[in-house]
Amino acid sequence: MTAAHPTIVVIGSANVDLTVKVERLPLVGETVSGGDFRLSFGGKGANQALAAQRAGAPVTLIAKLGRDPNGELLHQHLCAAGLRADGLLRDAETPSGVALIMVDSQGRNLIAVAPGSNRRLTVAEVESLRSLAFTGRILLTQLETPLETVEYALRQGRACGMLTILNPAPGRPLTSALLALPDLITPNETEASLLTGIEVTGLDTARQAGEHLLGLGCRTVIITLGANGALLLRQGAVQHFPAFPVTPVDSTAAGDAFNGVLAVALLQGLPLERAILWANAAGALSVTIRGAQESLPTRQTIETLLQTHTADG
């Protein structure tokens, strides 16, 4: 069976984010008052799907939402954004995922996440959506749904001729069997450290971690390094892609912007090196705007930054 449709399929999470901005973070047992509250939408799966869609690609998100009020809000939001309703499963027993976030005046945060219905996305449910999940061109997934579901999706995607990308976030150790499944793996510094036991603090340690991941069975590794850009490692080859110079405001969802737009560029047939430039540009643009999905750049702004960079360079 071959992948028939030039689409990106994202299998992952969707959350409601409840954020309070406070002057300072509370101590244990303390109440800090006077903050501003905002309800917004997040989850790595939804963020990456919307990043890809905003960059101009047809996208299907497969996620599991509750039937609670937050689940209704999420469903309305994702459908209004143009994502297909038939990929959004509903759970009548468990509420939707929620992130509780406190952010202080210096941008530091405390976050607690209740995964809710995200952790109940089963292999059988993804299999029941087979005609949606495994007939696209590219499969993108993360680690906010059960590991067995992630492994199943990567294995089936590969069997169906899809290009498979694993963003191993949030970070956790993974088996070499799972690491060998995706065509591309895209950890950040923290995630690469957790996967390898090598503390990634710069380009040299990133290279060591990347080579370790190749030794564990990864085919192609892209380590995202924030202000240091990204490092691409394949057997016998290492290439560094510097970050685009921007003034950072909020790094939330920068990795999601990178992954979603990387998938878009690859869908369009760009070589991997060029796709990483696109992804770097998207990540850079996202940190200049506060918020998660609010900060995801449009195709036009990505192209403008790339053109400006080319003219300057």
- Full DSSP string of 266-288: HHTT--HHHHHHHHHHHHHHHTT
Say how far apart CA 194 and CA 301 lie, in whole Å.
33
Say how far apart CA 262 and CA 16 lie, in whole Å.
25
- For the chain, 313 residues long, give each residue's pLDDT as a single digit of tens: 444 567 999 999 999 999 888 889 999 999 999 888 989 999 999 999 999 999 999 999 999 999 999 999 999 999 999 999 999 999 999 999 998 988 888 777 888 889 999 999 999 999 999 999 999 999 999 999 999 999 999 999 999 999 999 999 999 999 999 999 999 999 999 999 999 999 999 999 999 999 999 999 999 999 999 989 999 999 989 999 999 998 887 777 899 999 999 999 999 999 999 999 999 999 999 988 887 898 899 999 999 999 987 766 5
SS3 of residue 304 by DSSP = helix
Do 5 and 85 meet the contact criterion of CB atoms below 8 Å apart?
A: no
Average confidence score pLDDT of the chain: 93
Say how far apart CA 103 and CA 111 lie, in whole Å.
9
Residues 8-13+44-73+81-94+119-166+244-312, CATH architecture? 3-Layer(aba) Sandwich (3.40)
Strands of the 8-11 sheet, one edge to the other:
88-91, 59-66, 8-11, 138-141, 163-166, 184-185, 221-224, 230-234, 237-241
Catalytic residue among 68, 91, 256, 312: 256
Alpha carbon distances (Å) from 138 to 212, 269, 292: 26, 11, 23
Say how far apart CA 176 and CA 192 lie, in whole Å.
14
Do 133 and 62 meet the contact criterion of CB atoms below 8 Å apart?
A: yes
pLDDT tens digit string along 181-192? 999 999 999 999
pLDDT tens digit string along 24-73? 999 999 999 988 898 999 999 999 999 999 999 999 999 999 999 999 99
Return the DSSP state at 166: E
256 is catalytic: yes
- Phi, psi dihedrals of residue 266, rounded to the nearest 5°: -70, -35
Angle, CA 237 vertex, CA 256 and CA 225 arms, to 5°: 30
Q: Where are the domains of the chain?
A: 8-13+44-73+81-94+119-166+244-312
Sort residue 292 into left (φ over 0), alpha (ψ -120 to 50) or beta: alpha
Question: 32 Cβ partners below 8 Å, 6+ apart?
Answer: 22, 23, 24, 25, 26
Say how far apart CA 15 and CA 113 lie, in whole Å.
9
Helical H segments across 69-167, by residue range? 69-80, 123-128, 130-133, 147-159
Say how far apart CA 168 and CA 144 lie, in whole Å.
9
